[in-house]
Amino acid sequence: MRRTGLTHACVAALLLIGSWAAAGTLPASANDAADTPTPSSPTVSTGLLDAMQRDLGLTRTEAEARLTAERRATALAPEARKAAGSAYGGDWFDTKSGKLTVAVTEDADASTVRALRSSGAAVRTVEHSAHRLDATKARIDRLDAPPGVSSWSVDPAANTVVVNVVRGERSDNDVRRFVAAAREAGPVTVRTVQAPARTFAAGTVGGDPYYTGNVRCSIGFSVHGGFVTAGHCGGTGAGVRGWDGSYIGNFQGSSFPGNDYAWVNVGSGWWTVPVVLGWGTVPDQLVRGSAEAPVGASICRSGSTTRWHCGTVLAKNETVNYSQGAVHQMTKTSVCAEPGDSGGSFISGDQAQGVTSGGWGNCSGGGETWFQPVNEILGRYGLTLHTA
């Protein structure tokens, strides 16, 4: 059931969409290919390019070139990670070079480095392996964080775990104790952020609004039998109403804090389609898979309050310290969001990335937003993404 002018029965035939292609050059086995989501061939919509120009400050030519380079980096990243083995120190998309950069420790053998470079990746030598940085973050995850600590995550380009402290709270005794304990866990850098993290639910098909109780949130992605969204929007069993007030279904599973994900079953005349709303800013986007974009890649978000905005992936596996409790394994972006956008879609090209959780700032003055990765949600509940 949808508003007049965009019926699910005909939407697939009417959409102009941006799609992506796999272009990895490291060899992959047949099993690898079967397990890895593969983007499709590129056909980029004018609306998507316009949004990237507006939000990322790019020319049209730069936006087209960046999408092409990000396609290659996204496809290359999993195989580059395998090739680096125990010497792997992380990877990210470098917007200046237009290449995937792969960090390796000093003990990486020469043949590994040659293979990475011949694949098209840039290689940087670092002190700490990704395994050590991940272990450091895991130890920090076990600490009790005070409100003055906003979040923490591994920064592969800086080769450290970054702890983000709210401006003006650095001298707070609880914050100082947390930072001291974090430094004991391993390589840590402390940075200052503008404001504490908050969720984006609001009182009173991807990106479309729904309501539970007095809360308005946004649909993330259609799955077979329902849709995924943010956990803080409603508890298991809560009823859900659509944009027109009619009954959709109920929260079948929900987790918050610790995680911030949920899924809702769909019935009563509603059905699912593999679409994320463009809200007139871009054409509605078909969803073709869930290949994970690397740090540094461009990414866009659809939500029922601020609609369509774009930015870049800033960090992965970040722990966010909301007032309700810490949430783990989040991805941080430079995309803005506001209350009501919670649960909405993060998408890169035609590849689903995650559901909006929270952040700081707004779409007038800017800010940062986190999302819970969609593949984690699908795995947790045994769901299958509805794709075109």
The DSSP secondary structure of 77-118, one letter per residue, reads: HHHHHHHHGGGEEEEEEETTTTEEEEEEETT--HHHHHHHHH
pLDDT score for 17: 21
Tell me which of 128, 232, 309, 386 is the catalytic residue. Answer: 232
Q: Is the pLDDT of residue 1 over 80?
A: no
Active site residue 342: yes
Are 197 and 361 contacting, i.e. CB atoms less than 8 angstroms apart?
no
pLDDT score for 45: 74
For residues 355-374, average pLDDT: 96
Q: Is the whole model's pTM more than 0.95, yes or no?
A: no
Q: Please state which of the four CATH numbers 3.10.50.40, 2.40.10.10, 3.30.2130.10, 2.40.50.140 is assigned to the domain occupying 199-381.
A: 2.40.10.10
pLDDT score for 35: 38
pLDDT score for 36: 39
Q: Domain coordinates of the chain in residue numbers?
A: 40-126, 130-196, 199-381
Peptide bond into 257 cis (omega under 30): yes
pLDDT score for 199: 86
Are 56 and 311 contacting, i.e. CB atoms less than 8 angstroms apart?
yes
Q: Is the pLDDT of residue 202 over 70?
A: no
Fold of 40-126: GMP Synthetase; Chain A, domain 3 (3.30.300)
Domain 40-126 shares a fold with domain 130-196: yes
Tell me which of 91, 208, 260, 284 is the catalytic residue. Answer: 260
For the segment 286-314, what is each residue's pLDDT rounded down to a tens digit?
Answer: 999 999 999 999 999 999 999 999 999 99
Are 151 and 322 contacting, i.e. CB atoms less than 8 angstroms apart?
no
CA dist 37 and 203 (Å) reads 36
For the segment 320-329, what is each residue's pLDDT rounded down to a tens digit?
Answer: 999 999 999 9
For residues 154-168, average pLDDT: 96
For residues 125-133, average pLDDT: 98
Fold of 130-196: GMP Synthetase; Chain A, domain 3 (3.30.300)
Q: What percent of the chain has pLDDT over 90?
A: 79
CA dist 129 and 87 (Å) reads 6
194 confidence band (pLDDT: 50, 70, 90) = confident
Q: Kindly report each contact of residues 140-145 with a partner whose C-beta sits within 8 Å and lies 24 or more positions away, as own/partner.
A: 140/181, 140/182, 140/185, 140/188, 140/319, 141/319, 141/326, 141/328, 143/178, 143/181, 143/182, 144/178, 145/178, 145/321, 145/326
Both tokens of 243, joined, read 């944009």
Are 179 and 166 contacting, i.e. CB atoms less than 8 angstroms apart?
no
pLDDT score for 20: 29
For the segment 4-61, what is each residue's pLDDT rounded down to a tens digit?
Answer: 333 333 332 222 222 222 233 343 323 333 333 444 445 677 778 888 999 999 999 9
Are 161 and 137 contacting, i.e. CB atoms less than 8 angstroms apart?
yes
> Radius of gyration (Cα) for the chain, nearest Å?
20
Tell me which of 342, 345, 348, 357 is the catalytic residue. Answer: 342
